[in-house]
Amino acid sequence: MTTDLRGLTPAPPEPEHLPYPDADVLDVASLLDPAERRSLEAIRAYLHDVVRPLAIDYWNREEFPFELLPGLAEVGLGEIELGGTSRLYRGLVYAETSRADVSISALVGIHNELIVGMLSELGSPEQRERWLPRLRRFEALGAFALTEPDHGSDVAGGLETTARRDGGEWVISGRKRWAGLGTIADVALVWARDAADNQIKAFLVETDRPGYRAQKIPHKIGLRIIPNADIELDEVRIPASNHLPGATDFSTANRMLRSSRAWVGWQAVGVQLAAFDVAREYSLERRQFGRPLAGFQLIQQPLSEILGNAQASLGMMVQVARLQEEGRLEMLHAAMGKATGTRLVRESVAKARGILGGNGVTSEYHAAKIFGDAEIMYTYEGTYEINSLIVGRAVTGVSAFR
Ligand SMILES: Cc1cc2nc3c(=O)[nH]c(=O)nc-3n(C[C@H](O)[C@H](O)[C@H](O)COP(=O)(O)OP(=O)(O)OC[C@H]3O[C@@H](n4cnc5c(N)ncnc54)[C@H](O)[C@@H]3O)c2cc1C
């Protein structure tokens, strides 16, 4: 047994192995059938071995990793919503993607929930036939354009982008902000107000149409791999057939947002597992006072708290997935999953960053990247506050916002 540098207390034995190489300590994966479990393991290995190490460099350079798209398609991440798999499987895949990299998980999640999922539910047979074969292979990319410069939280009531019918065409005019992949997507799913009936509807706008202009929003503190865009739609003409027939008013958007909000709850699980992975590994390698950090009680406590937060979020999302499976998911459930998960994320990533000391503030190590990405999760898909107010409205019957 060694003694610490000041000879005050005997150091504990060196750890010989990691007792839980898999942070799924509650063995939630055992709820999957064997085929889904094998598939999840294969996806996890790919994400861990290929995506995670590459992502950090792209994150630092604020560049999109086109080279990863064929591999992501190969393991099925372009078509999760089309596969007929269980909700729990999809959630765990989303969590594993987020554990590897939050930006890549935003690419996969928005693509599946808001582009592929929306097209397959609300699109016409022709729209599905035209777009889904390429989208599911990541050979085409879509951008989801709802938020506007002057309307974020109040977009449902305030949306200003207009759609005017002109013979066999729609003419779309307005501005969008934050649309992920807006500068590189092949098609944007644009929400606009029909000038005739004042309803908010969804339209497929090919990004090479005259009048579509997108500019990347630079210098973000998180999600740096995803080019979020300011978009100008200057009298963009699209065929009448580009309107999504199932998207006739904002309640259709809300129905889809329920599911995508739940997806952020899964992202929250994954990023906390990432925080745990990074902090545990570092605490085992880094030595101070003559012993690994992992041997100090005040390091073991935050490690235990991060893991506990992750498992609490996971437990909640397992039940959210069950409700989804049974067709019983309400906005209350999705909003609570998103709000609670991202609240815990803030705590977890801060604790992980702290465990890395100074090395926690440079993105050469993963902790700083996770720390920045967590802030985006707190804000997008309805901010923490708005999702809390949705829960508040559901449990009191009184709306604190309109
Ligand atoms: C990196 C990133 C990616 C995104 N990706 C997309 C995308 O792909 N597509 C898309 O359409 N949008 C996207 N968004 C937009 C996102 O959904 C909005 O940022 C979000 O809805 C908040 O809107 P806002 O930024 O305009 O903030 P605001 O609505 O201006 O809110 C500012 C603050 O005020 C608070 N607030 C507002 N109203 C109330 C109220 N009534 N009571 C209490 N507090 C209130 C908010 O919670 C927040 O803290 C993205 C955003 C980010 C940052």
> Do 243 and 264 sit in the same domain of this protein?
no
Q: Give dist(CA 323, CA 327) in Å, integer.
A: 6
How many domains are contained in the chain?
Answer: 3
E strands present in 251-402: 287-288, 291-292
Q: For ligand 1, say whether the CB of 313 is within 6 Å of any of its atoms.
A: no
> Do 230 and 274 sit in the same domain of this protein?
no
Phi-psi domain of 397 (left: phi exceeds 0; alpha: psi -120 through 50; beta: other)? left
For residue 145, the ligand 1 atom closest to its alpha carbon is: 11
Ligand 1 atom 16: the closest Cα is on which residue? 380
Which CATH number goes with the domain that contains 386?
1.20.140.10
Which CATH number goes with the domain that contains 59?
1.10.540.10
Q: Give dist(CA 196, CA 168) in Å, integer.
A: 15
If you measure from the C-alpha of residue 264 to the centroid of ligand 1, how many angstroms do you get, rounded to a whole number? 14
Q: Give dist(CA 116, CA 215) in Å, integer.
A: 24
* pLDDT tens track for 110-135: 999 999 999 999 999 999 999 999 99
> Do 218 and 114 sit in the same domain of this protein?
no
If you measure from the C-alpha of residue 384 to the centroid of ligand 1, how many angstroms do you get, rounded to a whole number? 9
Angle (deg, nearest 10), helices 34-46 and 87-100:
10
> Do 130 and 151 sit in the same domain of this protein?
no
Assigned domain for 233 exists:
yes
Specify the pLDDT at position 38. Answer: 95
> Do 174 and 241 sit in the same domain of this protein?
yes
pLDDT averaged per 10 residues in sequence order, the chain, 402 residues:
46 52 84 96 95 97 98 97 94 98 98 96 97 98 98 96 98 98 98 97 98 98 98 98 95 88 97 97 97 97 98 98 96 97 98 98 95 98 97 97 82
Which CATH number goes with the domain that contains 236?
2.40.110.10
> Do 345 and 218 sit in the same domain of this protein?
no
Assigned domain for 1 exists:
no
Ligand 1 atom 48: the closest Cα is on which residue? 383
* pLDDT tens track for 274-315: 999 999 999 999 999 999 999 999 999 999 999 999 999 999
If you measure from the C-alpha of residue 385 to the centroid of ligand 1, how many angstroms do you get, rounded to a whole number? 10
Q: Give dist(CA 109, CA 113) in Å, integer.
A: 6
If you measure from the C-alpha of residue 92 to the centroid of ligand 1, how many angstroms do you get, rounded to a whole number? 26
Specify the pLDDT at position 324. Answer: 96
Specify the pLDDT at position 269. Answer: 98
Testing ligand 1's pocket by substitution, the residue of 178, 233, 257, 346 carrying the most ligand atoms inside 8 A of its CB is 178
Asked whether the beta carbons of 178 and 226 are under 8 A apart, the reply is: no
**Paired tokens of 346:** 């803030």
For residue 146, the ligand 1 atom closest to its alpha carbon is: 11
Specify the pLDDT at position 402. Answer: 75
Domain boundary residue, one of 80, 108, 135: 135
Q: For ligand 1, say whether the CB of 152 is within 6 Å of any of its atoms.
A: yes
> Do 240 and 257 sit in the same domain of this protein?
no
> Do 155 and 228 sit in the same domain of this protein?
yes
For residue 385, the ligand 1 atom closest to its alpha carbon is: 47
Assigned domain for 231 exists:
yes
> Do 276 and 345 sit in the same domain of this protein?
yes
Assigned domain for 21 exists:
no
If you measure from the C-alpha of residue 235 to the centroid of ligand 1, how many angstroms do you get, rounded to a whole number? 26
> Do 385 and 257 sit in the same domain of this protein?
yes
Specify the pLDDT at position 21. Answer: 57
Domain that holds residue 255: 251-396
Assigned domain for 224 exists:
yes
Assigned domain for 16 exists:
no
Q: For ligand 1, say whether the CB of 383 is within 6 Å of any of its atoms.
A: yes
If you measure from the C-alpha of residue 379 to the centroid of ligand 1, how many angstroms do you get, rounded to a whole number? 6
> Do 244 and 255 sit in the same domain of this protein?
no
If you measure from the C-alpha of residue 147 to the centroid of ligand 1, how many angstroms do you get, rounded to a whole number? 8
Domain boundary residue, one of 135, 165, 190: 135
For residue 383, the ligand 1 atom closest to its alpha carbon is: 47
Testing ligand 1's pocket by substitution, the residue of 373, 383, 387 carrying the most ligand atoms inside 8 A of its CB is 383
Q: For ligand 1, say whether the CB of 241 is within 6 Å of any of its atoms.
A: no
Assigned domain for 271 exists:
yes
> Do 59 and 89 sit in the same domain of this protein?
yes
Asked whether the beta carbons of 122 and 95 are under 8 A apart, the reply is: no
Assigned domain for 19 exists:
no
Q: For ligand 1, say whether the CB of 145 is within 6 Å of any of its atoms.
A: yes
Ligand 1 atom 13: the closest Cα is on which residue? 178
CB count in 10 Å sphere of residue 61: 11
Domain boundary residue, one of 83, 118, 135: 135
| Count of helix runs (H) and strand runs (E) in the chain | 13, 9
